[in-house]
Amino acid sequence: MLPFIDATYTPYVATFVFVFAIMFGVLSFAKILGFDKRINAAIAAVIAFFATSYEPFVVGMAEYMPVIAAIFVVIFFIVFLKKIFGKDEKEKGKPSDMLPIGIALAFLLIVLAIMWDRIYGFVPYGFDASNVLWIIGIIIIVIIFWVAYKHKPTEK
């Protein structure tokens, strides 16, 4: 770990960032309250602060964060595949900008490689964990190339 980061604060920071990201994503995606992104960020920050101030929640999140992260990686991967290969009815005829998806997939690959020692327990019995990581990595890189091929920048 980095020498200027105190390891005792890591669960608190990770819990804050995780809860903030989830709440901001839900508020922005679902448009529950109809606010703009700055107000959604403020609401998400307040909720994340209160979640971080509750010690049992922080301990539970530190314990189950690798499993939760693996579940979200799988969910986001499925959503990206749907966005890449599926066409939405309301987006027909519009050029789609695929660059954010490619960048997100690159970050997904980096997070997967960093977190692999914590999540390789989900590998089915009889498979070598490093081989499964290579297969997943190759699939993600092929999808990144597909996204780069399909990328059509929007005209301004």
- Over the stretch 65-121, which tens digit does the pLDDT of each residue have? 877 777 777 777 777 777 766 665 555 545 456 777 777 778 878 877 777 776 666
What pLDDT score does 51 carry?
Answer: 92
Give every CB contact of residue 99 below 8 A, 6+ residues apart in sequence. 147, 151, 153
pLDDT mean across residues, the chain: 77
pLDDT band at 29 (very low <50, low <70, confident <90, very high): confident
Written as six digits, the tokens of 126 are 């009889």
- Over the stretch 142-152, which tens digit does the pLDDT of each residue have? 888 887 777 76
What pLDDT score does 102 carry?
Answer: 75
Percent of the chain surpassing pLDDT 70: 77
Q: What is the mean pLDDT of residues 10-17?
A: 87
Q: What is the mean pLDDT of residues 22-30?
A: 83
Rounded Cα–Cα distance for residues 154 and 98 (Å) = 10
